[in-house]
Amino acid sequence: NISIDAISNELCGELNSLKALVAESERDLESTERALENSEQNISKYEQQVAELSQGFEFYQETKCFINDYSKLLSLKIDSIEQVENEIYALFQKRCDDVRNLR
């Protein structure tokens, strides 16, 4: 025969084990919630960094396009300056030839 005290003691032991398990589960849950909060904060930081990098990259792309366009413009101007120099030189040569022919 099992006595009521033995059953009561066994149930109390089981109850205490369950309480300890619940307490441990609550600590684990709190720890997991803190880890989740930290992860969310890190994600927010990373998203901000990505946004900043994106802006920096956009500025880089715009600057690169500006430099390319400016370089092309300078190249065109240099070509036109060389063309003007060539025309001036040709005129100078023609005048020299004209002066020689007059002699």
- Give pLDDT tens digits for 49-63: 999 999 999 999 999
The pLDDT, as a whole number, for residue 75 is 84
Average confidence score pLDDT of the chain: 92
Query: Does the pTM of the predicted model rise above 0.75?
Result: no
CA distance 15 to 21: 10
Does residue 72 carry a pLDDT above 90? no
